[in-house]
Amino acid sequence: MTEQNTPSAPVEEPTPAVKSLQQPDADHRKGKNTGPVLGAIAIVLVIALGVGGYYHTHKQAQALIAANQALVQQLSELRQSQLQGKNALEALLQQQAKTLDATDHEQTTLARQLNELQEKVSTISGSDAKTWLLAQADFLVKMAGRKLWNDQDVTTAATLLKSADASLAEMNDPSLIDIRRAITEDIGSLSAVAQVDFDGIILKVNQLSNQVDNLRLADNNKDETPMDQDSSELSSSLSEWRQNLTKSWHNFMADFITIRRRDSHAEPLLAPNQDIYLRENIRSRLLVAAQAIPRHQNEVYKQSLETVSTWVRAYFDTTDPATKAFLDELDNLIQQPISMDVPQQLKSQPLLEKLMQSRVRNLLTQTPATHQEG
């Protein structure tokens, strides 16, 4: 048993050695097989890197080309915009040049007209510098005539004539003495005109209108009772039974026949509440009279006041103090004239008109001819 075990031990020992010898060979063969694979992998990686680099480079090239095309497009648009701006600037410059030419032409025309006007003013001023005072005096005299005949304002007309005389006096021209004398006569004739206080008359008429409500109506029933001295009242005394019987009989007969005696004509009667319309009609007539005063309508003024006087005397108590004062003031206003006897014309007006024709207007018409001859 021991011998059998002993030889078996050496048999088992070489097996690892063989295995150890075979392992390097296997590794060697395995290394030989791995080298081409790695090379292939390297080649594939190189190719992949090349393809990737080419793709990346191609993309960058395309991006650069697109950017270059965009820049070219922008440059073209910029050039086109610059060309349009240049054309617009040239058109604006041309328009400004035309406007400048027109302005220069207009300025030249205005300068020429100004020179002509200055020459005309110089001609007028050199010929007669005080002619404007003459025109002012003529205007003042005409205004005095309008105030005199339209408004019958004697005070304002006289003031305007004095101003016209002052303008002529400032000219210091002896040839105007006749006109100044005529103006002085006109002022004297206006001073002799009797003044009428139109505003005062209007105030008085308005005051009468305010007093209409204070007038007392006439008592129209004062004559309706019998004027007999006998009384119809019954007595309370028994001793006067006969008189009472007689009065009762008379009262009974009075229902059949009534006899009254009157010493004067009956006064006009008014229906109840009709005095309101009467007073308003009186006020309207007074208003018409007040409106006729500034218009100098004598007939309308007097007719309105006379109508008021007739109505007051017919329907109101003339014995009342308020009515008496009302009628007295009304009669005074009827006698008051509302127009003045003013001169029909001014002596100085035709003289100034003639002088204006000979000096000012002829001078203005001769000025252009003098300028053309120069």
Domain that holds residue 281: 197-218+277-339
Same structural domain, 203 and 330? yes
pLDDT at 139 over 50: yes
Looking at per-residue pLDDT, the higher value among 150 and 79 belongs to: 79
Domain co-membership, 47 together with 111: yes
If pLDDT is split at 50, 70 and 90, which confidence band does 360 have?
Answer: low
Name the band, by pLDDT with cuts 50, 70 and 90, for residue 146: confident
Can you name the residues that pair with 316 across neighbouring β-strands? Answer: 217
337: left (phi over 0), alpha (psi -120 to 50) or beta: beta
Of 350 and 26, the structure prediction assigns the larger pLDDT to 350
> Which conformational region is residue 273 in: left (phi greater than 0), alpha (psi within -120 to 50 degrees), or beta?
left
Residue 255 lies in a domain: no
Task: Indicate the residue among 195, 230, 253 that finishes a domain.
Answer: 195
102/208 same-domain check: no
Number of structural domains (the chain) is 3
Per-residue pLDDT, averaged over 140-169, amounts to 86
pLDDT, mean of residues 5-16? 44
Q: Is the pLDDT of residue 76 over 60?
A: yes
Task: Give the whole-angstrom CA distance, residue 152 versus residue 143.
Answer: 12
pLDDT at 48: 83
pLDDT tier at 343, thresholds 50, 70, 90:
confident
CB 316 within 8 A of CB 323: yes
Domain's final residue, options 123, 144, 166? 123
Q: Is residue 257 part of a domain?
A: no
Higher pLDDT, 264 or 326: 326
Q: pLDDT at position 235, please? A: 61
- 155, 158, 271 from 151: Cα distances, Å: 11, 13, 45
| Exposed / middle / buried, residue 307 (Cβ in 10 Å: 0-12, 13-18, 19+) | middle
How deeply is 352 buried, as exposed, middle or buried, from its count of CB atoms within 10 A (0-12, 13-18, 19+)? Answer: buried
Of 123, 153, 179, at which residue does a domain stop?
Answer: 123
Residues 161, 62 share a domain: no
pLDDT digits (tens, 9 = 90+) for 209-267: 999 988 888 865 444 444 444 555 666 665 666 776 777 767 766 655 555 554 444 44
**Is 232 domain-assigned?**
no
Give 286's pLDDT tier (boundaries 50, 70, 90). very high
Same domain? For 176 and 212 the reply is: no
Same domain? 160 vs 294: no
- Judge if 67 and 105 occupy the same domain: yes
pTM: 0.44
Q: Is 168 a member of any domain?
A: yes
Q: Cα separation of 352 and 342, whole Å? A: 21
Same domain flag for 202 and 292 = yes
Q: What is the mean pLDDT of the chain?
A: 77
Q: Residues 19-58: pLDDT tens digits?
A: 444 455 555 555 556 777 788 888 888 888 888 888 888 8
* Model confidence pLDDT, tens digit, residues 293-321: 888 888 999 999 999 999 999 989 889 99
Q: Assess if residue 294 is contained within a domain.
A: yes
Residue 128 has a pLDDT of 58
Report yes or no on 345 lying in a domain.
no
Instruction: List, in order, residues 6 or more apart from 261 with CB less than 8 Å away.
Output: 226, 227
Do residues 176 and 206 share a domain?
no
Give Cβ neighbours of residue 23 (< 8 Å, ≥ 6 apart): none
Same domain, 59 and 116: yes
180 and 204 part of one domain: no
The alpha-helical segments, DSSP class H, found in the chain are: 2-12, 14-127, 131-150, 154-171, 177-191, 198-210, 241-254, 275-292, 298-315, 321-335, 348-356, 362-373
Q: Report, as an integer, the average pLDDT of 203-209.
A: 92
Residue 73 lies in a domain: yes
Percent of the chain scoring above 70 in pLDDT: 71
Q: Is there a domain that residue 63 lies in?
A: yes
| Highest mean pLDDT pick, 126-130, 216-220, 328-332, 334-338 | 328-332
Residues 191 and 62 in one domain: no
Give the pair of three-digit tokens for residue 35. Answer: 């080298």
